[in-house]
Amino acid sequence: MRSLTGFRSILRNKIKGYHKLAVLGFLLPGLSGVSLFVFLPFFDVVRRSFMTVAADKSAGLSNYKMVLSNQAFRLASTNTFRFVFICIPLLVGISLWIAYGLSRCRYMELLKSAYLLPLAIPTAAVVLVWKLLFHKQGMINACIEVLGGTGPDFMGTSLSFWVLVVSYLWKNLGYTVVLWLAGIFAIPEGIVEAARVDGAGEKAVFFRIILPNLKPTLYTITVLSFLNSFKVFREAYLVAGSYPQEDMYLLQHLFNNWFLNLDMDKMAAGAVLTGMVLFVFIFLLQIFWDRKEEWT
């Protein structure tokens, strides 16, 4: 009897070992690709940030000092952070309001498909629309002149920043609404109905039932929106070129210009600094979320 029990335990241990090997076998192809195309290039960028391009010798922290004292880097960083901290709250708040309204709409499926339309439109086509609308002789200024006013120069003044904000919201609003809808429909209907039976109104149901259950969705949307805010460069570049009006001069413009000028040492140092900011933001957001879950 003891020998049979020992045989079973040995068999279980072998099966567990095979399971671990199977898991490793499934992870290995993806991990190899990420290591080859993400981790190794990033480590090479970190190495180059401490080297000189011409002599390929150690430069210490001189590249970082050069980047941090660069006026264009400061301007691009200020505009980028300003853009992020304005766009993300606007995107999260507006998309949640729309999603909650759509969740109670009879034709929700049709409207949800319409909100995904901006993702299907090529960036080049979107840029043509922005040019037609916001050019100095564009449609908006033409309408203002018809009404007897004088249209502003959207792309040549500080208004260019808000044009960029509008383009980001238009591009990313649809899929963010769909993410909110997925989170809302994942909430058990019985909880909401029980609250309404107990006399809770729409406001109480939203703030006491729906919103607390959307915390995981809110975290996902915040991270995705933060990362996508660094991809708005395509629209800005195609509309205004490498050197746009200074209010919409972003980090991506600066990196693009450094790349064209072959300033690889400065670009490597700037990329490392940007990567550190992204990592710290997501790390702190995760810590804040974990503590918030403990408090609730």
Asked if the model's pLDDT at residue 8 lies above 60, the reply is: no
Q: Is the pLDDT of residue 144 over 50?
A: yes
Sign of CA dihedral 216, 220, 221, 222: positive
- The answer to pTM > 0.85 is no
Helix (H, G, I), strand (E, B) or coil at 261: coil
Task: Check residue 187 and report its DSSP letter.
Answer: S
Q: Which helix (H) or strand (E) holds 281?
A: helix 264-295
**φ and ψ at residue 58, rounded to 5 degrees:** -65, 130
Per-residue pLDDT tens over the stretch 115-128 = 667 767 777 777 78
Looking at every residue in the chain, the average pLDDT score rounds to 79
Helix, strand, coil abundance in the chain, percent, nearest 5: 80, 0, 20
pLDDT value at 98 more than 80: yes
